[in-house]
Amino acid sequence: MSTFPLALFVGGGLDACAAPAVAVRLIAAGYEVQVVLTDAARQLLTPAAFRLAGIEPVDTVPAGIPIILCPADEAVGLRLETLPSLGRVAGLGQASAAFPAFAREDVLLAARWLCSPRLLADRTILITAGPTAEDIDPVRFLTNRSTGRMGIALATVAACLGARVILVHGPLALRCPPMPGLETIPVRGAREMHAAVHGRVHECDAAILCAAVADFTPRDTAGQKLKKTGLDELTLPLVRTPDILASLGALSPRPYLVGFAAETHDLERYAQDKLERKNCDLICANDVAAADSGFAVPTNRITIFRRNQPPIPLPLLDKEEAAARILELVAQAL
């Protein structure tokens, strides 16, 4: 990743003591960090706390540099007013009318939001993520190994690129970080996901369907817990779920449409077939048989299939970087 300059303005609140660790995380992620201590911060921390991490606090920063306030408090706000020209600002902790806030644990997301070109400004993108849960009875359900990580990466990176994002997601194994521009709609089953998607798709320029939607759901959901008494075997009738991606492909007009294909074999043949059959613009295919790609790992090796153009094989990337590559293609196409 290329290095981006960032300024970290340290305020006087309780979280000031976390600032050296925050700076270290940013540097480790490749950012070039300049630290400014307010008077209030100097009551709590000395510059030596930063020197240990190889950072020498400064008094002024270049005009227009993106700024993270840690924590976002009044003292830092006052300090900002002394700057001649202000770049983008994000706060850690409290939100303010002047800038959006991110949780401290989401500092790398805040940095990405500050440094990303707004390639998707004025665009609305619908994203589906996670598994679905198909209820058998009040306590049991059918699901799969999807954690939602790829869909969360797509949603957060799209919001960093300036899009308004509507994320419709099944039960996630991971936390989806709140951030400006990102709206989340939690659902459980495939039918509910289908309804939520169709309720909002008319607002969207593009839809990226990343959810691992169950193909089958129990024909009936029992109102009471099923009992095993007297049964040696149980047969559960299943029925097909609606294909959400294909249903969007059939709309006219339809949004720019991106689907995913998780395959264990014959990746290319299935992906090309899906592109035609579901009437999509892009299919992102990943080999879920590989240990470092697909479900429940932080990395993916994706090949992007397009209509009448050669496929684009991406290298093994972490899911945020893979999301950024896919979204660049979407931005170009819109």
- How crowded is residue 51: how many other Cβ atoms within 10 Å of its Cβ? 12
| Binding track over 159-198 against ligand C5P, x by CB under 6 A | -------------------------------x--------
Q: Taking CB positions, which residue lies at the least distance from ligand C5P?
A: 244
Residue 286 annotated to the active site: no
Write down the least CB distance from residue 157 to ligand C5P, Å.
17
> Which residues make beta-bridge pairs with 87?
none
Alpha helix (H) ranges present in 90-189? 107-115, 149-160
42: Cβ–Cβ under 8 A, 6 or more apart, which residues? none
Build a one-symbol-per-residue string for 250-269: x at contacts with ligand C5P by CB under 6 A, - elsewhere: ---------xxx--------
Q: Is 305 in the site for ligand C5P (CB under 6 A)?
A: no
Least distance in angstroms from the C-beta of 212 to ligand C5P: 7
Backbone angles phi and psi of 108, in degrees to 5 = -70, -30
**Smallest gap, in angstroms, from Cβ of residue 128 to ligand C5P?**
6
The tokens describing 224, both together, are 């009471």
Interface map 79-108 toward ligand C5P (x if CB under 6 A) = ------------------------------
How many CA atoms lie less than 13 Å away from 111 in the CB half-sphere? Answer: 26
Residue 301, classified by CB atoms within 10 Å of its CB into exposed (0-12), middle (13-18) or buried (19+), is middle
Sign of CA dihedral 61, 64, 65, 71: positive
Complex with ligand C5P: residue 38 or 241, whichever CB lies closer? 241
Given 18, 33, 244, 331, the residue binding ligand C5P (CB under 6 A): 244
**Least distance CB 211 / ligand C5P (angstroms):** 5
* Cα torsion 286, 292, 298, 299: sign: negative
**Any idea which residue has 């993270």 for tokens?**
68
| Closer residue to ligand C5P, CB minimum distance, 12 or 259 | 259
Q: Which is nearer to ligand C5P, 179 or 209 (CB)?
A: 209
Q: Which residues bind ligand C5P (CB under 6 A)?
A: 128, 190, 209-211, 213, 241, 243-245, 259-261, 274
The catalytic residues are 144
